[in-house]
Amino acid sequence: MSGEALVATGLSHGFAGVPVLDGIDLTVPRGGVLAILGPSGAGKTTLLAILGGLLAPDAGHVERPFERPAFVFQDPLLLPWRTARGNVAFALTGRRLSRAERLGRARSMLVKVGLGQDEAGRYPHQLSGGMRKRVALARALAVEPDLMLLDEAFSALDVGLAREMQRLVRLDAQERGVTVVLVTHDLSEAVRLADELVVLSGRPAHVACRVAIGRPSRLRDDAFVEAEIRRLAASEAIRDAFRPTLSG
Amino acid sequence: MAGRFWRRFFSGERRWAALGILAVLALWEAGHRVYGDFVLPSPLATLTALGRLTLDGDLGPAILTTTRDALSGFLVATLIGSLLGGLAGRSTPLRAMLQPVATMLIGVPAIAWVVLSLLWFGGSGLAATFSVAVAVGPLVFAAATQGTRTVDGGLRMMARSFRVPLHVRLADVYLPHVLSYLLPALGAALAMSWKVAVMAELLSGAGGIGDGLAAARAEVDTARTMAWVVVVVALLLIVERLVIEPVRRYFETWRRGLPGEAP
């Protein structure tokens, strides 16, 4: 399977001498969806940055046989001087596309995330927080990625919209066989989207437990998701992992 | 027709600007009535002196020379200042090395640069260009450094994550941010360029408005002196309105509607 999967072995990393990650091993098969869970400050974002190649780990190795990675960051990180359309098109500047093609693709991608002609021409400061988040998602989808890295991508959206965007990512991933790694603190989001859950815990963080979700994601209805969440919440390992934040 | 044009022209902010200028003219006239022709010639006498300068054919060449001196120095300062400033903003060792040098250069009085450059370059036009460049360059450098240094790290990471080519990153991530620091500094630098150029010309005697000022002073002709001053101010305003302001507006359309900005 080597060369066909995102494989991380023995990842360790620290900031200014403080260790954050300690010996993390992960494998995400091509087309698979992995959710990284854990209490805030557990190093989830750092791990995602290393998996995406934005950060070199202090130790360990990542095999990344992908050509078009795309990020949705925790902050939307939009260029304030570009319109929503310009921001989406910006991600395509490395491609052999004409300006008109780039803008055309940006427009249709914005429509997919529910932003029309009017919003497409607005600057980020003229959009609401949820709209900015959707622009960031459209920007990631526009590059037709083969690897998607989502960092709390749906957290600023209201429930209905979050579900809608999750569906969009899931369909896109299934249609084109995109490999997805998502960081979240929302168990239901993880259960809805992922094939495998990895829970980080401790300081420095290690993998506290791994859970596979058997049923294919398109067959997961609300009842299944609820039952699965109850099952996970009952698990000792997951409760332990989240305990530090619960106690303060 | 004409009445409507002027009414539109002097509406809103322009009306207040015109009022401000009128107030200065009124004060000037009042000062003239109190102190007399020798100390403060009236606005009308200044205008007459200006007309005489035009008729004698002194005005055109002087404006050309001063414009050349000021703009050539300004251009050199802008190119070198923003290039070095941009690099210093991205490289800590370079910044640590260049910043004290820039501070030192800013500390040298402009008139000292004029005297030095006259000693080095003699009465050639180069003296004025050099004085302007060296007096103004550090200002541009400081603004470019600060602008480049404060480019949002998140945006840089985002651009890198989408593998955006370097030239696009420079144009779309760096430039708009750096310009918000650089353009106000360039406005101030341009104003200073005219002042230093006139100063250098005054001492070098190689033509230009400064040379005209020196001649007017030698002949104790206050009206002519005032006329030259009016010319410098007018030039400065014209360049500011015709070049700096439109450039600033072009690059900052996106700011409209931001808190604290005009809608």
CATH of A1-68+146-222, one of 3.40.640.10, 3.40.50.300, 3.30.930.10, 3.40.50.1370: 3.40.50.300
Compute the distance between CA of residue A191 and CA of residue A212 in angstroms, rounded to an integer.
10
**Structural tokens at position A160:** 């209905």
Tell if the CB–CB gap between A79 and B154 is shorter than 8 Å: no
CA dihedral B69, B74, B80, B83 (to 10 degrees): -160
**Structural tokens at position B239:** 């360049």
Q: pLDDT by residue for chain B (263 residues), tens digit each? A: 567 777 777 777 778 888 998 999 999 999 999 998 888 999 999 999 999 999 998 899 999 999 999 999 999 999 999 999 999 999 999 999 999 999 999 899 999 999 999 999 886 778 899 999 999 999 999 999 999 999 999 999 999 999 899 999 999 999 989 998 998 899 889 989 999 999 999 988 888 999 999 999 999 899 999 999 999 999 988 888 888 888 888 877 777 666 665 55
Tell if the CB–CB gap between B254 and A91 is shorter than 8 Å: no
Tell if the CB–CB gap between B157 and A77 is shorter than 8 Å: yes
- Residue range B108-147, pLDDT digits in tens: 999 999 999 999 988 677 889 999 999 999 999 999 999 9
Measured in angstroms, the CA of A190 and the nearest CA of chain B are apart by: 24
pLDDT attached to residue B1:
59
**Structural tokens at position B170:** 């420079």
Check if A56 contacts B (Cβ < 8 Å).
Answer: no
- Residue range A1-60, pLDDT digits in tens: 445 788 888 888 888 888 888 888 999 988 889 999 888 778 888 999 999 889 988 988
Check if A96 contacts B (Cβ < 8 Å).
Answer: no
Tell if the CB–CB gap between A77 and B155 is shorter than 8 Å: yes
Q: Is B9 part of any domain?
A: no
Q: Which of B254, B255, B261 to mutate to test the interface with A (most CBs of A within 10 A)?
A: B254
Tell if the CB–CB gap between A143 and B173 is shorter than 8 Å: no
CATH number at residue B135: 1.10.3720.10
Q: Using only C-alpha atoms, what is the Rg of chain B?
A: 22
Check if A90 contacts B (Cβ < 8 Å).
Answer: yes
Cβ(B168)–Cβ(A93) below 8 Å:
yes
Q: Is B261 part of any domain?
A: no
Which is nearest to B146 in space by CA: B182, B184, B92, B188? Answer: B182
pLDDT attached to residue B206:
81
What is the extent of the structural domain holding B102? Answer: 41-253
- Residue range B194-219, pLDDT digits in tens: 999 999 999 888 889 999 999 999 99
Q: Is B258 part of any domain?
A: no
pLDDT attached to residue B227:
94
Tell if the CB–CB gap between A79 and B168 is shorter than 8 Å: no
Check if A77 contacts B (Cβ < 8 Å).
Answer: yes
Q: Which of A93, A96, A102, A147 to mutate to test the interface with B (most CBs of B within 10 A)?
A: A93
Q: Which of B155, B157, B168 sits opposite A93 (nearest CB)?
A: B168
Partners of residue A139 in chain B, C-beta under 8 Å = 162
With a CB-CB cutoff of 8 Å, which residues 143-172 of chain B face chain A?
A: 152, 154-155, 157-165, 168, 172
- Residue range A159-215, pLDDT digits in tens: 888 888 888 888 888 888 899 999 988 888 888 888 888 988 878 888 878 888 887
Cβ(B149)–Cβ(B91) below 8 Å:
no
How many separate domains does chain B show?
A: 1
Domain boundaries, chain A: 1-68+146-222, 78-144
Which is nearest to A114 in space by CA: A133, A92, A90? Answer: A133
Q: Which of A54, A79, A90 sits opposite B157 (nearest CB)?
A: A54
Tell if the CB–CB gap between B162 and A73 is shorter than 8 Å: no
Tokens 């002709």 -> residue? B221
Q: Is B31 part of any domain?
A: no
- Examine the pLDDT at A246 and tell me if it is beyond 60: no
Tell if the CB–CB gap between B161 and A52 is shorter than 8 Å: yes
